[in-house]
Structure 1
Amino acid sequence: MRLTHFRHSCVLVEMSDTRVLFDPGTFSQGFEGLTGLDAIVVTHQHPDHIDPVRIGALVDANPDAQLFADPTTAAARGDRWIAAVPGHDYGIGNLIARAVGGVHAVIHPDMPTIDNTSILLGDEERIGRFYHPGDALFVPDVPVDVLGLPVNAPWCRISETIDFFRAVSPTVAVPIHDELLSPEGAAIYLARLTDMRPDGADLLRWEAEATQEF
């Protein structure tokens, strides 16, 4: 498995001759020229996860890609977009995407909740080879090899992030959802997550547009 981080929550997963791009949002950079994608997956409607300006060109450049999003976003965009409904599996190339969760984390009780479809990506042998939770801390009921770990958000305290990291207990976590932090602030968060990670798990730090092999 090969992962490329295009800042914030945008991650390209290349595995089993299949290429899947997650959450190309406004805070992300470098995904614009991608072609040959098998799927584009959007976990929810917020612009830091789907850039309303750049998504059209990305879709046009990948005419054969399957387009998955949470039910609200899929309905709003129409056309080729498929609603990823929690509890269902979807075939993407040689992989399986399992939709789980379903609800965005609470930002404030006075704000209405919205859809958020977290995605497990893998195969019949192991569905949880990669897990992208979007803006939620939903703990799946299967083992996870590589977790995209949200580091900082208006909806999340670091204590909740640590508890989520420990509950999922992946083999390795890669930090995502971190563009609201300064470099100095990010270093503090990553230090705490490293110190308090679950037994047997690693936290792998990566730079913008960096690629890692697993």
Structure 2
Amino acid sequence: MRLTKFEHAALLIEQSGKKLFIDPGMFTTAITDAVNTAAVVITHEHPDHWTPEQLRRILEASPTAVVYGPEGVVNAVREADASIAVTRVDPGDAVEAGPFSLRFSGGRHAVIHSSIPVVDNVGVLVNDVLYYPGDSWAVPEGVEVDVLAVPAGAPWLKIAEAIDYVLEVKPKRSFPTHEMVLSTAGKNMAGDRIRWATEQGGGEFFPLQPGDALDL
């Protein structure tokens, strides 16, 4: 299984000739190579994690691909483009999509501010190897996380929270995600803190940049 990091929160996972996209949003370069996509996971409805244009490009290349997301995503996508079907998933659900086993957890987006509604959010565990929490600090229950995608910068995020999250999960490997809102200096500072936290649990940090890949 191979992971490729795209800009911001988007990931591509490839296994047995099939593709899984996670959160291709407005800060992510247009998806152009989506042939053989089995599934798309959208963790929540905010546009930095999905756009109708990104979904259309993927589904035009792979019409049988299944799009998964929580109720808020189902409603948001229906409102934006009723021709795109989204299969609802909730925390505790598990589905099989081609060679990908997907287990969902969490339930709610991290709080940005009391004036901003808290939306649905699911984290996803892929093939019991890669865990991506979306915009939350949800910890998958009963799982030793091999590879953890760690949010590094966001309006809802303090670096102290990211550090504590990594210390709690104790992944064997980690890499930063959700960092397009940071400058280069900010990315480096966040990466140093995530590296430190990962190493406290005996893990290894990978400072992946857009286009970098990691064998899982």
**Conservation of the 8 A alpha-carbon contact between 2:123 and 2:138:** yes
Counting helix residues as a fraction of each chain, which structure ranks higher? Answer: 2
Match of 1:99 in 2: 104
TM-score by length of 2: 0.91
Match of 2:50 in 1: 50
Shift, 1:175, TM fit: 0.8
Match of 1:86 in 2: 91
Q: CA RMSD in A?
A: 1.5
Letter in 2 for 1:140: P
Q: 1-side partners of 2:132 and 2:164: how far apart?
A: 16
Match of 2:170 in 1: 169
**Conservation of the 8 A alpha-carbon contact between 1:32 and 1:54:** no
Please give the residue correspondences for 1:191-206 in structure 2 after superposition, counting only pairs within 5 Å. 191-197=192-198, 198-206=200-208
Please give the residue correspondences for 1:117-128 in structure 2 after superposition, counting only pairs within 5 Å. 117-122=122-127, 127=128
- Report the identity percentage: 33
Unaligned stretches of 5+ residues in structure 2? 79-83
Q: 1-side partners of 2:192 and 2:165: how far apart?
A: 16
Q: Does 1:135 align with 2:135?
A: yes
**Conservation of the 8 A alpha-carbon contact between 1:68 and 1:83:** yes
SS at match of 1:107: coil
Q: 2-side partners of 1:91 and 1:116: how far apart?
A: 20
Shifted more, 176-185 versus 204-213: the winner is 204-213
Match of 1:29 in 2: 29
Shift, 1:153, TM fit: 0.7
Shift, 1:66, TM fit: 1.1
Match of 1:190 in 2: 191
TM-score by length of 1: 0.92
Question: Kindly tell me: are residues 140 and 181 of structure 1, through their superposed partners in 2, closer, same or farther at Cα, counting changes over 3 Å?
Answer: same
SS at match of 2:87: strand
Deviation per CA, 1:22-57: give whole Å up to 9, x if none.
000011115333221110110001010002333222
Shift, 1:16, TM fit: 4.8
Shift, 1:89, TM fit: 0.6
Question: Kindly tell me: are residues 138 and 49 of structure 1, through their superposed partners in 2, closer, same or farther at Cα, counting changes over 3 Å?
Answer: same
**Conservation of the 8 A alpha-carbon contact between 2:31 and 2:57:** no
Q: 2-side partners of 1:71 and 1:27: how far apart?
A: 23
Q: 2-side partners of 1:99 and 1:54: how far apart?
A: 22
Letter in 1 for 2:180: E
Runs of 4+ in 1 over 6 A off after TM superposition: none
Match of 1:211 in 2: 213
Shift, 1:65, TM fit: 0.8
Q: 2-side partners of 1:192 and 1:57: how far apart?
A: 36
Unaligned stretches of 5+ residues in structure 1? none
SS at match of 1:193: helix
